[in-house]
Amino acid sequence: MQPDLNKMMQEMAKAQQGMLKVQQELANATVEGTSGGGAVTVKCTGAMEFKSVKIKPEAVDPNDVGTLEDLVLMAVKDACLKAQQLGQQKMKPALGNLQLPPGLGF
Amino acid sequence: MQPDLNKMMQEMAKAQQGMLKVQQELANATVEGTSGGGAVTVKCTGAMEFKSVKIKPEAVDPNDVGTLEDLVLMAVKDACLKAQQLGQQKMKPALGNLQLPPGLGF
């Protein structure tokens, strides 16, 4: 009898199913990062695959490239943050009782 | 005696140590994505934390925002790809004999 192993394997199998489902959901979800009050908008999936960058013409000034670079960086970081937040939010319930050690899992 | 469980736990502990070390290495590593022959350069860590966006002034034309948007998107995607490649490259040896099921791990 190996009750601990059996229970552990069952929980891992359940968590695995849940995580695969969540990863699929994340790949199909879109999040949006913005900066400068909407001057730059970046879209990526919940799996952090970048899909589009939109820049308002008024933010495009060859004499002030530094501001544009900052706005783009902020929008990209904002999109990443939202993808991560969505991931954590969806992943928690999927893991159920399984406590993955740090370094493993999402 | 539970030889399977013991061996599994040992391998998981070893893999966990290795993955934590790799995650730290990735967070300290920098990768660079580019587009348009260097017109846009995006830096991020191996853990996909974006650090900088550089745009050459000649790519900044208010009358052709579409090209700039494409160049930025391509450079961001290129940086992501390089971070993922670095992660896979470093993660494989760290996992050792442990075969993580799809959905768990990196």
Q: What is the pLDDT of residues A11-54, one digit of tens each?
A: 878 888 888 899 999 999 999 999 999 999 999 999 999 999 99
Distance CA B100, CA B97 (A): 9
Q: Let me know how many helices (H) and strands (E) chain A has, helices first.
A: 2, 3
- With cut-offs at 50, 70 and 90, classify the pLDDT of residue B12: confident
- Is the pLDDT higher at B46 or at A105? B46
Chain B residues touching A102 at Cβ < 8 A: 16, 20
The count of C-alpha atoms lying within 13 angstroms of the C-alpha of B18, restricted to the half-sphere facing its C-beta, is 18
Say whether residue B103 is in contact with chain A using an 8 A CB cutoff: yes
pLDDT at B6: 82
Candidates B23, B73, B103; nearest CB to A20? B103
Q: Does A3 touch chain B (CB under 8 A)?
A: no
Nearest CA in chain B to A21: B103
Beta strands in chain A (DSSP E): 30-35, 40-45, 50-55
pTM of the model: 0.84
- Bigger pLDDT: B90 or A55? A55
